[in-house]
Every structure is written in C-alpha cells, then in structure tokens.
C-alpha cells in the first residue's frame, strides 16, 4: 500500500491517533449488542437509489466491521458511478464522505481513490469553500459540517491543506458553528474530529503557535458540545453519536462511568422507540456505540474483530397502526413578511410533507413548494417560489406549535389540532 520507508512514521501517526490512548471511550458491551440490531437492520434493508444516499452507510459498515459483501459492493459501486458520471457535481462533504467510505480500512477501493485523483479534487473543493467565504461575507458554499468533513478526509488521506487557513477559519467564535443563536453540536463535533487529526498529523511540521491554537480550538469546541448536554444526549438524539466521537478524542467526559451509562440509556431508549429508522441516522450513531471514531478509518485495526450480529430482513421499528384510518384537522401557515394561513384535513399518521401537499392543492399560488431528495429525506428548497440560499444563509424553517422540528418534513408525524408553519428564516 504505502512505501515501506514511510512505515515507521505512519505507524507512529496511527498509534497516536488511537483514541483510547488519549481519552476515555464509552462502548456497548456484548450483553447489549442485541439492542443495536435495529440499527444494523435499518442499514441493511434500505433501498439505496443513488450513491450519495449511501455514503454514511458504507463508511459505517466498514469502520464497524459489518461484513456484508453484497451491500458493500453495491454501495461502493454506486458511489464510484456517481463520481465518474460527473453528471451532478458532488459537494465538498459528499466527496469527503466518499473518500472516507471508499478508503476505510484498507480495501481495493484505494486504487479508485488514486486513479480518479479524488484527494486532489477534494483539495480544490476545500479551496472553493474558502473562496466563497471570502466573496460572500464569510459564508461557505455548503456549511462548516462539510468543511470539517473535507479537512478530516484531507488530513487522513494525506491531502494538502494550509495550516494557516485552518487556524484562521476554524476559530470557535466563527459564526458558521451556529445556526441562529444555537451552537450546532453536529458541526462542532465534526470540527473536533478534523482538528484533532490536524493536531496529530506529524507529517506537517507545525510551529508551536499553530499547534497551541488548534489544541485550544479543540478544547473550546469540546466544552461547547458538553454545554449542550441534555439527559446524557448532546444537542439532540441525532447529533449524539458524532458528539460522542468528538468527546472520545478530546475530553475525559466518559472517564466517569455514570456519564457513559446515562448516554447509553438514552440512546437505547431512542433505538427501541424507532427513532433511528432512517439509514443515515443509524449510520451516524453506530460507530460511537462500537467505540469507533472517524479517525479510526486509517487505523491498521480498522474493521478488524467484526461483531456477529443477528440480522433480519424485517424492517425494524415503525409499528403500523391497526385502527381504521381517521382524518385529523391541522392548521398550516407560510410565514414570509406576512403570514398565509389555511386549515387542511389529512389522514391520521400523516407527516408534515402531506400537510404541505394538501395545502398546495388548495391554493397553488400561496402554498406551492419544491423539495430535493437527500439522505435525510425531502429537504424543502423553496416555498411560493422563494428559494433558500447558502450565500445569504436563508432557509425554510419547519415549526410545530411555535417550536422548531428536530426532524424533516418527510419524518415528522403531525397530530390533530397542530399549528404547523414553514417560516422564511436566516441561520
Ligand atoms: C448544515 C445543516 C443544515 C443547514 C442546511 C443548509 C446549509 N447551509 O448547508 C440548515 C441550517 C439550513 C438546516 C436546516 C434544517 N435542518 Co439541518 N443540518 C445540517 C447539518 C449540520 C449538516 C448537513 C450536511 O451538510 N451534511 C453533509 C452532506 C454531505 O450531506 P447531505 O445530506 O448532502 O447534506 C444536505 C442535507 O442534509 C440538507 N439538510 C440539512 N438539514 C436537513 C434536514 C433535513 C430533515 C433534510 C431532509 C435535509 C437537510 O442540507 C445539506 C446541505 O445541502 C446536519 C447534521 C448532520 N448530522 O448531518 C443537520 C440536520 C440534518 N438537520 C436537521 C434538521 C432537523 C433540520 C431542519 C428540519 C430544522 C428545522 N426545524 O427547520 C431544517 C430543514 C428544513 C427544510 N427546509 O426542509 C437534523 C435532521 C434530523 C432528522 N432525523 O431528520 C440534523 C441531523 C441536525 C440534528 N442533529 O438535529 N440544516
Ligand atoms: C454491560 O453493561 C451493562 C450496563 O451498560 C452492565 O450492567 C453489565 O454489567 C455489563 N456487562 C458486562 C459483561 O460487562
Ligand atoms: C444472536 O442470537 C443467538 C441465539 O438467539 C444469541 O445466543 C446471540 O447472543 C445473539 N447475538 C447477538 C450479537 O445478539
Ligand atoms: C427502490 O426504489 C426504486 C425507485 O424509487 C423503486 O423503483 C424500487 O421498487 C424500490 N425497490 C424496493 C425493493 O423497494
Ligand atoms: C446483506 O444485505 C442484503 C441487503 O443489501 C441482504 O439482503 C442480505 O440478507 C444481507 N446478508 C447478510 C448475511 O446479512
Ligand atoms: C504524502 O504526500 C506527500 C506529498 O504531499 C508525499 O511526498 C508522500 O509520499 C505522501 N505519503 C503517503 C504515505 O502517501
Ligand atoms: C430520546 O430520548 C430522550 C431522553 O431519554 C427523550 O427525551 C426523547 O423523547 C427520545 N426521542 C425519541 C424520538 O424517542
Ligand atoms: C420582507 O420585507 C422587507 C422590508 O420591507 C423587504 O426588504 C424584503 O424583500 C421582504 N422579503 C420578502 C422575502 O419578501
Ligand atoms: C389563493 O390565494 C390568493 C391570495 O389570497 C387568492 O387571490 C386566490 O384567489 C386563491 N386561489 C384559490 C384557488 O383559492
């Protein structure tokens, strides 16, 4: 794989990246493996219609060592086709996830990464993000979660990046770690992983000053993550897996066994309630539960000692109601500068998106909208013809009874009497 002359150096690098050498991890033990089976079945039994929908899943299957040749091949093939076709331009984060998944745990796809020059392509995308920030008031093309993924992949796969740019753009005060006033735990966690890799990258001869800065950023971001702790979760249930990874490599939080028990209890509880029914949600939480972080992708022990899970072809979770379908009545509004209201009747068990469709049927002018299919489901890109823009930090925020939703329009189930709203907002 690598020139033998490099071995001592890379060996040392890998050694220093083993998280348990640094901090404490919190792992699910054998007695509790059965609790993780719904996560695995969700990933194995999903229908991946294009490569970009399976990026996180391929990465997790390999990192955790879930051996399923046919699915691994299918996902890897689809990703390579998406990259080759060049039909749709991948974003920085998509390409980074592609490299992490294809390159995870030393496998034949490394040849493809080299042949298609994916690492240099990612270098260019990282540059383009920074150029966009310079031209658009500090706003990247995508977001800091993706910039962090890109930096992480460049760092792990020996790409080049400028340490000066890193110390300049990743300061914990940067507005891109926030959506509105809210610290984004997912974003902070991904940045901690990337910056920890940069910090440990012995191939870069960093000066003491840069090194000190980066370790301060890591500590400060880890504190911000811990400040968002709620009953053992960080941010919400969907950011907790990546927050755990970040805390594994940057803090002693899980040295306290009570902290570990509290997190695992909340996560098990959510698994049993079917909270992780989207494959990407399962893929994002599983590595941490198995004691892995994205930094382990290039670790020689990556994917070794796989766990034998009892898999089933049944789709887990989501109990279908046995009662006869009933109709419910909900309020729906679109708020821009003024608010347009309506009321619609939908079937019990409907999701937010069904309400939007029903409203659109009532009045196309007021309630028309567009969506884009993503790995998280349908993302609302425009309403009344007004389009979200990353350059302006605008988006369509989803709310129910005045509270922002923690799930998307395709997932959030509405209740009779709910007051639902899409609001033109700035993050
Ligand atoms: C950045 C981000 C945003 C940005 C997206 C725009 C931008 N500048 O990139 C903003 C702030 C606008 C945003 C909005 C929302 N987000 Co958001 N977002 C993220 C974040 C931090 C990173 C996404 C990303 O770039 N991934 C990497 C790339 C490679 O993957 P991708 O799939 O191509 O990414 C795109 C989509 O994910 C899409 N997107 C972003 N958020 C959401 C949410 C949903 C439900 C969907 C369908 C798509 C979507 O935008 C990304 C960039 O184009 C994730 C965290 C995470 N763990 O993934 C949360 C996350 C995906 N978002 C989430 C939520 C809930 C929302 C909102 C529904 C919040 C709300 N109440 O309005 C809205 C979406 C409403 C809508 N219009 O449909 C949740 C989803 C949980 C779930 N189970 O569904 C996450 C996991 C955060 C969390 N921990 O709660 N988000
Ligand atoms: C596994 O973890 C649970 C709590 O998470 C604990 O009660 C149990 O004793 C552990 N079992 C073993 C074999 O370590
Ligand atoms: C799988 O099922 C067998 C038999 O029911 C059980 O003994 C074993 O512990 C299970 N494995 C896991 C990982 O749960
Ligand atoms: C997978 O999705 C495609 C496209 O939506 C659909 O045509 C196909 O029937 C689905 N397959 C399964 C097994 O659900
Ligand atoms: C591998 O995944 C496929 C679906 O992609 C599934 O049909 C098959 O049963 C899985 N095999 C094993 C051994 O789990
Ligand atoms: C890393 O990249 C440098 C050039 O940037 C190259 O000289 C070196 O051989 C690469 N090392 C590995 C292990 O690929
Ligand atoms: C997840 O767990 C937390 C804490 O136990 C709980 O408050 C929340 O309602 C759960 N969410 C879901 C979707 O089950
Ligand atoms: C909302 O009102 C402000 C001030 O009147 C105006 O500048 C802005 O363009 C309006 N926004 C939309 C989306 O109509
Ligand atoms: C839709 O709403 C607009 C503005 O309130 C109104 O002028 C129009 O007549 C409505 N269309 C229908 C089909 O109700």
What is the pLDDT, as a whole number, of residue 8?
38
| Strand, helix or coil for residue 270 | helix
Contact 105, 296 (CB under 8 A): no
Question: Which atom number of ligand 7 is nearest to the Cα of residue 237?
Answer: 1
Task: Check for a shared fold between 4-296 and 327-426.
Answer: no
Please report how many Cα atoms fall inside a 13 Å half-sphere around the Cα of residue 208, on the Cβ side: 0
Question: Which atom number of ligand 6 is nearest to the Cα of residue 2?
Answer: 13
Rg over alpha carbons for the chain, rounded to the nearest Å, is 22
177 marked as part of a ligand binding site: no
Spell out the alpha helix ranges (H) of 206-328.
Answer: 208-227, 237-250, 257-272, 279-289
pLDDT tens digits in sequence order for the chain, 427 residues long:
333 333 333 434 444 444 444 578 899 999 999 999 999 999 999 999 999 999 999 999 999 999 999 999 999 999 999 999 877 899 999 999 999 999 999 999 999 999 999 999 999 999 999 999 999 999 999 999 999 999 999 999 999 999 999 999 999 999 999 999 999 999 999 999 999 999 998 777 788 899 999 999 999 999 999 999 999 999 999 999 999 999 999 999 999 999 999 999 999 999 999 999 999 999 999 999 999 999 999 999 998 878 888 877 776 655 565 667 799 999 999 999 999 999 999 999 999 999 999 999 999 999 999 999 999 999 999 999 999 999 999 999 999 999 999 999 999 999 999 999 999 999 9
What pLDDT digit, counting tens, does each position of 89-124 carry?
Answer: 999 999 999 999 999 999 999 999 999 999 999 999
Contact 185, 177 (CB under 8 A): no
SS (H, E, C) 102-139: HHCCCCCCHHHHHHCCHHHHHHHHHHHHHHHHHHCCCC
Centre a 10 Å sphere on the Cβ of residue 160 and count the other Cβ atoms it contains. Answer: 11
Taking the domain 4-296, which CATH number applies?
1.50.10.20
Residue 229: beta bridge partners?
Answer: 234
309 Cβ below 6 A of ligand 3 = yes
* CA 358 / ligand 9 centre spacing (Å): 15
Question: Which atom number of ligand 8 is nearest to the Cα of residue 336?
Answer: 13
- Which candidate, 95, 149, 157, 109, places its Cα nearest to that of 298? 157
Of all protein residues, whose CA lies closest to atom 12 belonging to ligand 5? Answer: 68
Q: Which structure tokens are listed for 62?
A: 């390999």
| Strand, helix or coil for residue 281 | helix
Maximum Cα–Cα distance across the chain: 70
Listed by start position, the domains of the chain span 4-296, 327-426
Class of domain 327-426: mainly beta
- Which candidate, 10, 109, 6, 27, places its Cα nearest to that of 293? 27
């Amino acid at each position: 794989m690598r020139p033998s002359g490099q071995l001592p150096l890379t060996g040392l690098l890998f050694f220093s990246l083993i998280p348990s050498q640094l901090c404490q991890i919190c792992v699910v033990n054998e007695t509790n493996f059965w609790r993780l089976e719904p996560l695995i079945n969700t990933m194995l039994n999903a229908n991946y219609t294009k490569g970009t929908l399976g990026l996180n899943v391929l990465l997790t299957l390999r990192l955790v060592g879930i051996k399923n040749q046919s699915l691994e091949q299918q996902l890897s093939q689809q990703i390579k086709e998406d990259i080759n076709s060049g039909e749709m331009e991948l974003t920085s984060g998509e390409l980074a996830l592609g490299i992490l998944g294809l390159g995870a745990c030393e496998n034949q796809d490394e040849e493809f990464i080299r042949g298609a020059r994916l690492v240099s392509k990612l270098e260019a995308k990282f540059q383009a993000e920074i150029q966009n920030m310079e031209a658009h008031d500090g706003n990247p093309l995508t977001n800091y979660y993706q910039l962090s993924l890109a930096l992480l992949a460049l760092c792990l796969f020996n790409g080049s990046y400028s340490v000066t740019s890193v110390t300049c753009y990743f300061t914990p005060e940067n507005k891109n770690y926030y959506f509105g006033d809210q610290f984004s735990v997912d974003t902070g966690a991904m940045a901690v992983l990337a910056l920890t890799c940069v910090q440990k990258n012995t191939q870069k001869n960093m000066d003491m000053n840069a090194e000190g800065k980066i370790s301060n950023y890591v500590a400060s971001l880890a504190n911000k993550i811990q400040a968002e702790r709620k009953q053992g979760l960080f941010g919400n249930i969907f950011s907790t897996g990546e927050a755990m990874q970040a805390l594994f490599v940057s803090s002693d939080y899980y040295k306290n066994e009570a902290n570990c028990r509290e997190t695992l209890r909340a996560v098990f509880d959510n698994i049993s309630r079917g909270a992780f029914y989207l494959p990407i949600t399962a893929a994002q939480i599983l590595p941490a539960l198995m004691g892995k972080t994205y930094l382990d992708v290039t670790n020689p022990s990556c994917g070794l000692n796989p766990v034998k899970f009892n898999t089933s072809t049944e789709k887990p979770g989501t109990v279908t109601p046995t009662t006869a379908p009933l109709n419910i009545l909900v309020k729906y509004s679109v708020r821009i500068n003024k608010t347009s209201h309506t009321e619609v009747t939908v079937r019990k068990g409907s999701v937010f998106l069904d309400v939007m469709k029903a409203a659109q049927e009532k009045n196309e002018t007021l309630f028309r909208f567009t969506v884009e299919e993503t790995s998280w489901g349908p993302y609302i890109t425009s309403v009344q013809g007004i389009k979200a823009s990353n350059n302006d930090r605008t988006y369509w925020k989803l709310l129910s009874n005045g509270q922002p939703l923690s799930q998307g329009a395709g997932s959030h189930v509405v209740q009779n009497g709910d007051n639902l709203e899409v609001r033109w907002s700035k993050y």
